[in-house]
Amino acid sequence: MALPTDSLVERKQLKRQIMRWRTVAIVSVALAVIGLLGLQNEELSPVSTGDYIARVDVNALVTDDRKRNEMLQELKKDEDVKAVLVYCDTPGGTAVGGEELYLQLRDIASEKPVVALMRDVCTSAGYMTAIGADYILARAGTITGSIGVIVQSVEVTELADKIGVKPVIVKSAPLKATPNPLEKVTEDQREAVKDVVNDFYRYFASLVQQRRNLSDQQLEIVADGRIFSGAQALEYNLIDAIGGEREALNWLAENHELDAGAKVRTVQPKREAAQWWKALEQMSNLSFLSESSLTLDGMLLIWQPVPR
> Using CA atoms, how far apart are residues 212 and 177, in angstroms rounded to an integer?
37
Which of these is catalytic: 76, 82, 112, 124? Answer: 124
User: What Å distances lie between residue 224 and 16, 121, 211, 219, CA to CA?
Assistant: 68, 18, 17, 8
Per the rule left: phi > 0, alpha: psi between -120 and 50, beta: everything else, 37 is alpha
124 is catalytic: yes
Q: Residue 189, Cβ neighbours under 10 Å: how many?
A: 18
Which of these is catalytic: 67, 176, 184, 194? Answer: 176
Bridge partners for 160 per DSSP: none
How many CA atoms lie within 13 Å of 271's alpha carbon, on the beta-carbon side? 16
Write out the catalytic residue numbers: 124, 176
